[in-house]
Amino acid sequence: MEGEASVNKLHTQIEIKPQGQEPPPPHSSVVDNSEMDIQPEGKLPFFKSRYRQRASDTWLISLLVILHLVAFITTTLFNYFSTGSVFFQPLSENPLLGPSASTLDKVGALRRAFLVQNHLNWRFFVCPWLHAGIIHFAINISCMIFIGIHLERDYGPLRIGVIYLLSAFFGSLVCSLFVRNNPVVTSSGALFGLLGTMLSGLIRNWKVYSSKGAALAALMTVLATNFLLGLLPYIDNFANIGAFISGLLLGFVLLLTPQIRQMSKNKAGLFECGVKHSKSTIKLKQKLALDRPILRSISLILFVILLSGCLVALFLGIDINHYCGWCRFIDCIPYRRWSCNDGPNTCEIMKSNSEMTLTCLYNGNTRVFPFTNISQARINDLCAMIC
């Protein structure tokens, strides 16, 4: 009995003071992973977020994509009811696999005659939502999502929304000074505004970001791809140039500092502001929020001057093509598969019971079409195609 009691006593002592272990620290059983989401030291892959994002952080870009999609579907339906047979014109007529020129005119594309003669200024607000074809839509929307989501997460939807809309409108204004008598759309202008904003944010916070070379390479790749796309018919490159300048200037004005969330010990990836210590984070916020007032002021003044100058030139009906004969090659490069001619096209029309023959009086080209019951606007489209 005595041996049994000693064993129980020893067992009790072991339970009270286990050897080789230390008591757990208080309040250590529950750890909030969302607050401790800190990556190890080292640079992150390009455009990879260090912190968990909420779905609501990108509601602006999601809304813009939906609006562009609705406008594209509407344009496609207009083209179907106008032609009576197809949603997209063949590549020989529209190299971007999109609607006809007459359909673009109906839905709100810009053209010199509409602005100067008819004063249809509502097109400035519709044209930035239109796309020239499914190829244009796919490339433009993909790039907008790629760039826009990271800008919205870092700088907030309000600032990016203001820059997006002002850049789109400013791009349409610049387009009106160069547009000829061919229909053009300016939806790529807003994307170039975001690219300008990205560049200004990178320049302004150069010491904050890592992977700056990769960021510039991505920016130049997206910019070059969409600029080359603008050399095709129906896309205006002058709107892209104007919107890029607008986005760059407005970025210097509005992008004071990225929205700093969870910090790491090392620099963050592009548009992920990170510093070494929390005290440095506070100082960085104050510095970026208060510094460079001269840069912001100069950028704002330049933007107001450019915007006012474009508005005055629009009201005066100025056509810069009269003073710059080579500027048309920035907007459209002639090629045997499409035409950049904006002059009046005249065709001789011959109709039979089931066929229509068009002969261009400018170059003598002749084409036979297996239909006769089409509108005059559609005849003009086909005449422009063969001329």
pLDDT for 88-137, tens place per residue? 888 888 899 999 888 999 999 998 888 877 777 889 999 999 999 999 99
| Nearest alpha carbon to residue 149 among 18, 32, 270, 308 | 270
Count of alpha carbons within 13 angstroms of residue 259, beta-carbon side: 16
Which residues on neighbouring strands pair with residue 235, listed in sequence order? 185
The contacts of residue 254 (CB under 8 Å, 6+ apart) are: 155, 159, 162, 163
- The CA-atom distances, in angstroms, between 141 and each of 127, 135, 137, 201, 227 are 15, 10, 6, 21, 15
Q: Specify the pTM.
A: 0.77
pLDDT tens-digit readout, 208-256: 777 788 889 999 999 999 999 999 999 999 999 999 999 999 999 998 7
Whole-angstrom Cα distance, residue 304 to residue 197?
Answer: 17
Is the pLDDT at 182 greater than 80? The verdict is: yes
Whole-angstrom Cα distance, residue 331 to residue 238?
Answer: 7
Whole-angstrom Cα distance, residue 262 to residue 272?
Answer: 9
pLDDT tier for residue 47 given thresholds of 50, 70 and 90: low
Is the pLDDT at 72 greater than 70? The verdict is: yes
- For 377, the enclosing helix (H) or strand (E) is helix 376-386
pLDDT of 44 reads 34
What percentage of the chain exceeds 70 in pLDDT? 76
**What is the mean predicted confidence (pLDDT) over 306-334?**
90
Strands 347-351 and 356-360, how do they pair?
antiparallel
Is the pLDDT at 49 greater than 80? The verdict is: no
